[in-house]
Amino acid sequence: MADTSKSVSIRITGKVQGVFYRASTQEQAQRLHLTGFVRNEKDGSVYVEVSGPAEAVDSLVAWCRQGPPRARVEEVVVTPLEATPTYAGFQVRR
């Protein structure tokens, strides 16, 4: 059975800015061979869009629930994306 592709957005709230959350997310996504981006939001949350094999996307979502060591994740909201965006690699956006 072939692994299907999946694209989701993820919004992470809690103490997730200033704790290397974006860089750590990029590292995890690259290790899982996923594409997309991560950025800080004005409200203090972190926003991620990610695409790739469903199992790898699910692994990144699971990692986001913990985050890097100094993060204090309160909530992770995952929303399926209608269309599969095309990204070149996985980037940290400002």
The predicted-structure confidence for 31-81, as pLDDT tens digits, reads as follows 999 999 999 999 999 999 999 999 999 999 999 999 999 999 999 999 999
Determine which one of 11, 22, 39, 65 is catalytic: 22
Task: Walk me through the domains of the chain, giving residue ranges and CATH numbers.
Answer: 5-84 (3.30.70.100)
Partners of 48 in the beta sheet? Answer: 10, 38
Q: What are the backbone dihedrals phi and psi of residue 22, each rounded to the nearest 5 degrees, phi first? A: -65, -50
| Cβ count near 13 (within 10 Å) | 16
pLDDT score of 94: 86
22 a catalytic residue = yes
| 40 carries an active-site annotation | yes
Catalytic, out of 11, 31, 40, 70:
40
CB 7 within 8 A of CB 50: yes
